[in-house]
Chains A and B, each alone.
Chain A
Amino acid sequence: MTANHTDDLQLLARIKAGESRAFDQLFLKYYPNLLHFCRSLLPYPSDEGEDVVLEVFQQVWRHREKMDIHSSLSAFLYASVKHRVYDYRRKQHPVTNMPLEEIHDELVANRECPDQALTYKELSENLEKLIKLLPERMQLIFRMNREDQLTYQEIADLLEISINSVKTQMYRAIKFLKESYRFDNSAS
């Protein structure tokens, strides 16, 4: 069981108890990558991806008490998004703004153990720039594996590609980051 899974199970327990703050944290944690993934499944560029992901989270909240996750929570969220893309209907709701920055700060603070967060903060910002340079598909696979801790097999199933191409993409991403990062360092 990885640390990420343990964190997620704790979040899920708090969500089941009706703690909306935990739910917000879960959302902020997974939303960007799920959106990215969702868009990759849509046949044309559109804003529908956002709606699909929001609906998945809405379902999670609605059925929170009955949620029983056997695999990982991240794998469950990805599978739900995939399922819903095929089953998509549009909805409209009024938008109001809530003060959310605070929850976001808490999420960032909880992310890794504190001293690690500190050591890697600057590095993290530089690396993010490099990750954004990766080809769309490779970037998605890298983030699914690194940030959301999906296994190669889970990624292969979700994207309907072979496990070997997942591995190849991961290897190329790591190699690119490793080499570019070293280059950046020696240049400065």
Chain B
Amino acid sequence: MKEEELYLLITRYLSKQTSAEENEQLMDWMAADKKNGQVFEEVKRIWLGAQRIADPGSIHALSKLRSRIAAEDNTYVQAPPRHVQLYRLAAAAAILVVAIATWRIFYFRQSSHQVAYLKEATLSGQKKKITLADGTKVILGPESSLSYPASFDKDSRTVTVEGEAYFEVSKAPHLPFIVQTPVLTVQVLGTHFNINARDNQPLSSVALLEGAVKVKLKEKINEEYLLKPGQELSVDHNTHQVYQHALDSTAVLGWQNNVLKFKNEQFGSAANRIEKMYGVKIIFKDQAAANTRLYATFRDQSLSDVMEMICTSGVLAYHQEGDTIYVNLKNEKTK
């Protein structure tokens, strides 16, 4: 990508004027090289820093405008003082309500040492969008669950995830946001990231798109890993070996938009994602079929399209019985 194209892409992304495809292009570029993330941060800094500045000339011009309007519309100038009062009153009421609410929760917690936790869970083929009390947005992937307090306490924001979830954490520097999974503890410093942590899979992973996160293993509490944008960290559940690598935005985030991406992956391990997305069960009749390597991207395609494509390219055959799909090597079937 040319520098010009790139700078414009980054700034349009920050102004939310890009398409999903352009976002993907940007994420792939960022993942391609460490230096790219740095360029992104530099452009981001000047873009977000360039803000409208108070201009004394405007205040003067506004007073002119007010008197002009007042000459033809007498509701205009009288209005502001009344509004100011109402506004102040409303603000006071809100503080009061908040104050009472916090005191009650505090009181309740002190007496019983319990916080009300809410739990959201999805079935296979389902996704859920959840907005937490602090404005943090979570997209919960299929067959996953999220536990979170109905309201966060004063010191931290802690939630628990099993399965896959994408987070856009609302910024509050004084309140660390912490995600617990069975294997990992992820401390967030205001950011967008994806977590994949399933007990029945060999790996747990955290992928970071923007901001920074700190990851700790529950088994090795002293080791900390700091992730940078465009990086992904995976932990092997058995060996507790940690891998850090560049993230592939589609492979990591595809599930949100019904995108499946397989990069030279064995069908056996990829099947899990197909099962989740379409709510089916895949059974391999022979190991050779499970070992077939896949290299493909599917966007919003039907299950039969996906299976047809995989089987045609991989010399495989499949048939479906209800929610179960059986896959085998083609020549074996013809025997």
Residues of A within 8 A of B67 (CB): 93-96
| Tally of chain A residues near chain B (CB < 8 A) | 63
A155 adjacent to chain B (CB < 8 Å) = no
**A128 touching B72, Cβ below 8 Å:** no
**B11 touching A182, Cβ below 8 Å:** no
Residues of A within 8 A of B75 (CB): 18, 20
In the assembled complex, the CB of A149 is this many whole angstroms from the nearest CB of chain B, namely 6
Q: A61-B69, A127-B46, A178-B43 are in contact. Are A18 and B79 (CB under 8 A)?
A: yes
Residues of A within 8 A of B54 (CB): 104, 108
Give the contacting residue for B62; candidates A100, A108, A168, A174; CB below 8 A. Answer: A100
A58-B71 Cα distance, complex, nearest whole Å: 11
**A174 touching B79, Cβ below 8 Å:** no
**B65 touching A3, Cβ below 8 Å:** no
- Fill in one digit per residue for B77-94: 1 if any A CB lies within 8 Å of its CB, else 0: 101100110010000000
Q: A27-B62, A28-B62, A178-B43 are in contact. Are A58 and B7 (CB under 8 A)?
A: no
| Tally of chain B residues near chain A (CB < 8 A) | 48
Give the contacting residue for A50; candidates B46, B51, B61; CB below 8 A. Answer: B61
**B76 touching A124, Cβ below 8 Å:** no
**A54 touching B53, Cβ below 8 Å:** no
**A28 touching B59, Cβ below 8 Å:** yes
Give the contacting residue for B64; candidates A4, A93, A142; CB below 8 A. Answer: A93
User: Which residues of B come within 8 Å of A, CB atoms?
Assistant: 3-4, 7-8, 11, 15-17, 42-43, 45-55, 57-59, 61-73, 75-77, 79-80, 83-84, 87, 171-173
User: Which residues of A come within 8 Å of B, CB atoms?
Assistant: 2-4, 18-21, 24, 27-29, 31-32, 35, 50, 53-54, 57-58, 61-62, 91, 93-98, 100-104, 108, 111-113, 115-116, 120, 123-128, 131, 142, 145-147, 149, 151, 167-168, 170-171, 174-175, 177-178, 181-182
A-B contact pairs, 30 of them (CB 8 A): A27-B58, A27-B62, A27-B65, A31-B61, A32-B58, A50-B61, A53-B61, A54-B61, A54-B68, A61-B73, A91-B68, A93-B68, A94-B67, A96-B66, A111-B51, A113-B171, A116-B171, A120-B51, A123-B49, A124-B49, A127-B46, A127-B50, A128-B53, A170-B8, A171-B4, A174-B47, A177-B46, A177-B50, A178-B46, A181-B42
Other 7 A-B pairs with CB < 8 A, given A62-B69, A96-B66, A97-B63: A20-B80, A31-B61, A31-B62, A61-B69, A93-B68, A115-B173, A181-B46
